[in-house]
Amino acid sequence: MTEDFKVTPWEVTGDIDYGLLQERFGTTPIDGALLERLSKYGDVHPMLRRGIFYSHRDLNQLLDGYEKGKEFFLYTGRGPSGNTHLGHMMPWIFNKWIQDTFGVPMLFQMTDDEKFLFKDLTLDDTRRMAYENALDFVALGFDPDKTKIILDTENIKSLYPIALKVSKKVTFSTAKAVFGFDNSTNIGSVFFTSIQAAPAFLPTEEAGTQVPCLIPCGIDQDPHFRVARDVAPGLGYPKPAMMYCKMFPGLGGGDKMSSSDENATIYTTDGPKAVKKKVGRAFTGGCVSVEEQREKGGNPEICAVFKYYFYMFEKDDSKINELADRCRSGCILCGECKAELTTRINLFLEDHQAKREEARKIVGDMAYGGFKWKKDGE
């Protein structure tokens, strides 16, 4: 087994082999039969058709229950360590589609505690970032009557008893093996997975009866939910079902958009000029000269610009295939392709930024238990 890539909730390095990762983690492919089954509920989302959300755990069982009238809830989250970028938004957009398609409630956990423990940030930093990130989440249009945002340090009284139960069932050995911890890991980090597990079981605790949970998120989060699923039956909780997506690519050609490379990362608050500049510098599959490209064509498989269309900015399958063909045949040059992507991203961001301002009015109502947000400048 090749070890040239690493995927944990806190570190993604190397060229990820998503098939191999699925094998390593022991998750199940989202195959044609499952897509067929999902199509009964409406148009299947492009992220499913294109294999971006590509792997799952127990989704069939969840749908079996749903079809018998057992409503589930959605749970996903965000570690607030900086501004929101497109890579964060991608799975949220998918969650929104699931909420709309199944009409289900949603819990969104913001792990200000986690980012404090794992990064060089204060709790004040991570709480303020949580507010900024929450605006992006809310701007996507989640049903305000069915969606609640959990902020760990604010909602800890609800989470802690569940986290204690989880933590009592997880040994340091397990945490070491699953997350790659060692003796130098701080004891807050060691405990943290218990807190991330808690929202998956919160509606069950509140209802006093098992409420099934579906967690659509990045495959890098699987270690947390492997642990959560292992301990669930012993605690009388349902095992959460999972849907996993691939990492949103960076503009530099890397496998994951990351805040550590600001120039290869498009933030939700970026203006048109910044977007133009970042896309202009993107890694492409083009040739060194126009002549060569007209003759030999480009390679969309390795092109960051093409991936942006594929992941988020071209929903029409025939058009995305056409774009790939035109690239390979040398009909379209990188400059044109980048200009069009820039336009699309800027249109998206213009609309998003307006909704993000509107979100300020309702983000307070969506706070779980009615906590008060900590905003910048307060």
Residue among 111, 167, 204, 265 that touches a copy of itself (CB under 8 A): 167
Which residue number, 140 or 178, has a Cβ lying nearer to a copy of itself? Answer: 178
Among 142-150, 161-169, 297-305, 312-320, the segment contacting a copy of itself (CB under 8 A) = 161-169
x/- track of binding to a copy of itself for residues 8-47 (CB under 8 A): ----------------------------------------
Residue among 83, 153, 269, 299 that touches a copy of itself (CB under 8 A): 153
Q: Which two tokens stand for residue 194?
A: 């218990």
Task: Decide: is 223 part of the binding site for a copy of itself (CB under 8 A).
Answer: no
Task: Decide: is 226 part of the binding site for a copy of itself (CB under 8 A).
Answer: no
Cα-based distances in Å from 364 to 44, 203, 305: 32, 21, 37
Distance of alpha carbon 259 from alpha carbon 266, whole angstroms = 9
Q: How many residues does the chain have?
A: 378
Task: Give DSSP secondary structure letters for 36-75.
Answer: HHHGGGSSPPHHHHTTSEEEEESHHHHHHHHHTT---EEE
Task: Decide: is 194 part of the binding site for a copy of itself (CB under 8 A).
Answer: yes
Residue among 19, 42, 103, 161 that touches a copy of itself (CB under 8 A): 161
Distance of alpha carbon 125 from alpha carbon 13, whole angstroms = 26
Among 22-30, 34-42, 179-187, 248-256, the segment contacting a copy of itself (CB under 8 A) = 179-187
Task: Give DSSP secondary structure letters for 211-249.
Answer: --EEEEEEGGGHHHHHHHHHHHHHHTPPPPEEEEEPPPP
Cα-based distances in Å from 293 to 211, 323, 368: 55, 15, 54
Among 30-38, 186-194, 265-273, 322-330, the segment contacting a copy of itself (CB under 8 A) = 186-194
Residue among 3, 4, 15, 187 that touches a copy of itself (CB under 8 A): 187
Which residue number, 2 or 184, has a Cβ lying nearer to a copy of itself? Answer: 184
Residue among 117, 219, 247, 363 that touches a copy of itself (CB under 8 A): 117
* Bridging pattern class, strands 73-78 and 213-218: parallel
Residue among 4, 15, 40, 173 that touches a copy of itself (CB under 8 A): 173
Question: Which residue is associated with the tokens 């999972």?
Answer: 242
Distance of alpha carbon 97 from alpha carbon 103, whole angstroms = 10
Residues 6+ apart with CB under 8 A from 377: none
Nearest one of 140, 158, 137 to 79, comparing CA atoms: 137
Task: Decide: is 180 part of the binding site for a copy of itself (CB under 8 A).
Answer: no
Task: Decide: is 2 part of the binding site for a copy of itself (CB under 8 A).
Answer: no
Query: What 3-state class would DSSP assign to 16?
Result: coil
Task: Decide: is 372 part of the binding site for a copy of itself (CB under 8 A).
Answer: no
Task: Decide: is 197 part of the binding site for a copy of itself (CB under 8 A).
Answer: no
Residue among 85, 148, 165, 307 that touches a copy of itself (CB under 8 A): 165
Q: Give the bridge partners for 77, in sequence order.
A: 109
Which residue number, 193 or 346, has a Cβ lying nearer to a copy of itself? Answer: 193
Task: Decide: is 156 part of the binding site for a copy of itself (CB under 8 A).
Answer: yes
Distance of alpha carbon 121 from alpha carbon 126, whole angstroms = 7
Which residue number, 113 or 255, has a Cβ lying nearer to a copy of itself? Answer: 113
| C-beta atoms surrounding 178 within 10 Å | 18
Among 53-61, 132-140, 156-164, 330-338, the segment contacting a copy of itself (CB under 8 A) = 156-164
Which residue number, 186 or 263, has a Cβ lying nearer to a copy of itself? Answer: 186
Residue numbers at the binding site for a copy of itself (CB under 8 A)? 113, 116-117, 123, 153-154, 156-157, 160-161, 163-165, 167-173, 175-176, 181-191, 193-194
